[in-house]
Amino acid sequence: MDTIVETLKAKFPYVAPRPSADHPAVNVPATHLREFAQRLRDDFGYSMLLDLCGVDWDQDSPRFGVIYQFYHAAKKTYLRVATLAPDNANPAVPSLAALYPAADWHEREAYDMVGIRFDGHPNLTRILMWEGYPYFPLRKDFPLSGIETELPAADTTAATHAKVIAAPMMGGPFYAATEGLHHMSDAEPRARDQSWTEAQPKPGQKG
């Protein structure tokens, strides 16, 4: 086992080693995350938070987790920290934005994509999707083809009276030629797990 994992385990009783194919990795419960990250930065010298991402573990419970990638800028080593959000219905973990300003945008992205709330974040709003978008697209139950939603330009259309027409989404991201085929799932094997076909419209699609 890696020495850093040993050291961390000896110092913090709640730290558990985590299987990893490359860098040292540990599991930390969400309740201790902020304290742990603070010590990691101040005592262990992991000065950079390179990345964090939300994960939907689907059938597992707790269902949602966050994976952090820390970097020791002097020793040039990585450390992966994983945590799980205890509540499946309203997943939340503490925000690290006050410790690592880099977490600000990454946490907004994880919230936007997976729907994990970060307690104590200064401005937890959507970042890639628009404000008011109703879904969390990287959850496993969100279909690859997307769900039709109202276009976010209601105020613009009210002011300009311009007609906003949605782009033709038929076929979704992997649309293939359908000559002689009745369902796109016949044309594109990777789309077979989709919850919709041309005969059965996708969720939210009108007509």
Partner 1 sequence: MATSTEISLGDVAARGAAYAEELPGEHMTLNVGPSHPTTHGVLRLLLELDGDRIIKCEPVIGYLHRGDEKIAENMTYNQFVPYTDRLDYLAPLANNVAYAIAVEKLAKLEVPPRCQAIRVICCELARISSHLLGIGVFGMDAGAWTIFMYCFTQREKLYTLFEELTGARFTTSYTRIGGVARDMPDGWLGRVNKFCHDVIPVVDEMDKLLTRNKIFVQRTEGVGVITKEDALAYGITGANLRAAGVEADLRKDNPYCGYENYDFEVPIGTRGDCYDRYLVRIEELRQSVRIVRQAIEKMPEGPWYAEDAKKIFAPPKGKVLSSMEELIQNFMIVTEGPQMPPGEVYFEAENPKGALGFYIFSKGGGVPYRLHIKGPSFVSLGILPKMLPGHLLTDVTVILGSLDFVLGECDR
Footprint on this chain of partner 1 (rule: CB under 8 A): 19-23, 25, 47-51, 53, 55-56, 67, 69, 73, 76, 78, 80, 100-102, 104-105, 109, 113, 126-130, 137-138, 142, 144, 146, 173, 189-190, 193
Q: Which is nearer to partner 1, 21 or 165 (CB)?
A: 21
Beta carbon of residue 49, minimum distance to partner 1 (angstroms, whole number): 6
Distance CA 79, CA 4 (A): 9
Q: Which is nearer to partner 1, 31 or 203 (CB)?
A: 203
Q: Which is nearer to partner 1, 13 or 93 (CB)?
A: 93
Q: Which is nearer to partner 1, 31 or 61 (CB)?
A: 61
Angular region, 192: left φ>0, alpha ψ -120 to 50, beta rest: alpha
For 13-68, the DSSP string reads TT-EE---SSS-EEE--GGGHHHHHHHHHHTS---EEEEEEEEE-TTSSS-EEEEE
Beta carbon of residue 55, minimum distance to partner 1 (angstroms, whole number): 5
Q: How many residues appear in the chain?
A: 207
Beta carbon of residue 127, minimum distance to partner 1 (angstroms, whole number): 6
Q: Helix, strand, or coil here: 206?
A: coil
Beta carbon of residue 126, minimum distance to partner 1 (angstroms, whole number): 8
Residue carrying structure tokens 């994976």: 67
Q: Which is nearer to partner 1, 11 or 166 (CB)?
A: 166
Distance CA 175, CA 60 (A): 32
Beta carbon of residue 19, minimum distance to partner 1 (angstroms, whole number): 7
> 10 Å Cβ neighbour count for 144?
13
Please report which residue ranges of the chain form alpha helices under DSSP H: 3-11, 33-42, 103-114, 154-160, 184-187
